[in-house]
């Protein structure tokens, strides 16, 4: 009799055990799905803050532009590094954290935060043809106190004004910085990334190459990306980052003359989109005001655009 009771108890324990396992797995699964949802929600909030007024969030799916273009957050595809470059979605674009501020170590292999750029997203933001993109460009004088050239930059989202703020801060740096800044490599140039069919961020008028001479580019180095090199001073990088530009010197496939307006990566690095209070405050204080139109001027700028 006693033995049977014990057996029952054991069976009961077994029953609960298997259910308990199931519950644990279910919780883990739902937790994982929940985290994925939180990632999507956070990332979409970051994009909406970075490019205010450009599109609306479609919860659980992605974003929709006023012309009806829908850009899904996650295309559900598994991708290797080359496919991430060729065919990224919004999730891929924000996948790698951009190391804001001081960089302690050279980037790890294939750590290229900012190089996964969904073409459809950038065309919807800045124009789907050269003509449309050019219509939003505005000339900004580079280092005016040193008679620098006028560079074409997109006036969308006030990027032209942000570049003017960058330039004002660069001008305050001492004369020892001049060789890194003059002559500039250039800004707008409608063409693909070297050796690919993808449009370069220079095509959208959102990228700035500072002086080519003291810069390093992974393809120019004997050992490729494996041999990280940089001489660009930290002060220059910090000024650009403060105004929403990321630096190609923080990529494994480094391009140390290259800066690119990518406020979503800066916002994410500041902790926005965590739905924490700090994150929300950061997103709000990093105000990115849309300033459409104002475009005119059409002089191109000649440089060897790689990214």
| Closer by beta carbon to Zn ion, 244 or else 279 | 244
In the 8-state DSSP scheme, what is residue 123?
A: H
Cα distance between residue 302 and residue 16, in whole Å: 72
- What is the closest distance, in whole angstroms, from the C-beta atom of residue 202 to Zn ion in the complex? 6
- What is the closest distance, in whole angstroms, from the C-beta atom of residue 107 to Zn ion in the complex? 17
| Closer by beta carbon to Zn ion, 85 or else 207 | 207
Q: Which of 255, 250, 267, 268 is nearest to 220 (CA)?
A: 255
Angle between helices 234-242 and 159-172 (to 10 degrees): 150
The rounded Cα 296 to chain-centroid distance in angstroms is: 27
| Closer by beta carbon to Zn ion, 216 or else 258 | 258
Cα distance between residue 168 and residue 162, in whole Å: 10
Residue 108, SS3? coil
- What is the closest distance, in whole angstroms, from the C-beta atom of residue 237 to Zn ion in the complex? 14
- What is the closest distance, in whole angstroms, from the C-beta atom of residue 37 to Zn ion in the complex? 35
- What is the closest distance, in whole angstroms, from the C-beta atom of residue 258 to Zn ion in the complex? 3
Q: Quick check: 58 and 38 in contact, CB under 8 A? A: no
Give the tokens for residue 45: 């909030």
Q: Which residues bind Zn ion (CB under 5 A)?
A: 207, 209, 258, 307
| Closer by beta carbon to Zn ion, 73 or else 188 | 188
Q: Whose CB is nearest to Zn ion?
A: 258
| Closer by beta carbon to Zn ion, 207 or else 246 | 207
| Closer by beta carbon to Zn ion, 69 or else 303 | 303
Q: How many CB atoms lie within 10 A of CB 88?
A: 22
| Closer by beta carbon to Zn ion, 189 or else 270 | 189
Q: Quick check: 269 and 113 in contact, CB under 8 A? A: no
Cα distance between residue 227 and residue 149, in whole Å: 33
Cα distance between residue 138 and residue 161, in whole Å: 10
Q: How many CB atoms lie within 10 A of CB 260?
A: 24
- What is the closest distance, in whole angstroms, from the C-beta atom of residue 169 to Zn ion in the complex? 20
- What is the closest distance, in whole angstroms, from the C-beta atom of residue 184 to Zn ion in the complex? 10
């Amino acid at each position: 009799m006693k033995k049977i009771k014990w057996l029952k108890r054991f069976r009961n324990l077994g029953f609960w055990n298997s259910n308990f396992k199931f519950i644990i797995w279910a919780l883990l699964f739902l937790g994982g799905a929940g985290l994925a949802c939180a990632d999507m929600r956070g990332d979409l909030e970051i994009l909406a803050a970075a490019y205010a007024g450009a599109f609306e969030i479609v919860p659980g799916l992605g974003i929709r532009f006023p012309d009806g273009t829908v850009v899904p957050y996650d295309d559900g595809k598994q991708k290797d590094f080359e496919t991430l470059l060729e065919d990224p979605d919004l999730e891929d674009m924000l996948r790698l954290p951009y190391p804001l501020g001081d960089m302690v170590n050279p980037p790890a292999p294939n750590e290229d935060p900012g190089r996964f750029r969904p073409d459809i997203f950038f065309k919807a933001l800045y124009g789907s043809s050269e003509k449309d993109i050019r219509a939003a460009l505005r000339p900004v004088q580079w280092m005016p106190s040193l008679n620098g050239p006028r560079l074409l930059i997109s006036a969308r989202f006030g990027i032209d004004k942000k570049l003017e703020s960058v330039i004002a801060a660069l001008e305050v740096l001492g004369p020892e910085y001049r060789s890194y800044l003059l002559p500039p490599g250039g800004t707008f140039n409608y063409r693909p990334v070297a050796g690919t069919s993808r449009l370069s961020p220079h095509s959208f008028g959102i990228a700035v190459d500072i002086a080519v001479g003291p810069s390093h580019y992974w393809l120019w180095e004997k050992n490729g990306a494996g041999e990280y090199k940089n001489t660009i001073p930290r002060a220059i990088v910090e000024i650009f980052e403060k105004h929403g530009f990321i630096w190609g010197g923080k990529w494994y496939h480094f391009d140390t003359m290259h800066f690119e307006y990518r406020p979503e990566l800066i916002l994410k690095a500041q902790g926005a989109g965590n739905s924490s209070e700090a994150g929300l405050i950061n997103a709000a204080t990093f105000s990115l005001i849309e300033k459409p139109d104002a475009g005119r001027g059409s002089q191109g700028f000649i440089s060897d655009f790689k990214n």
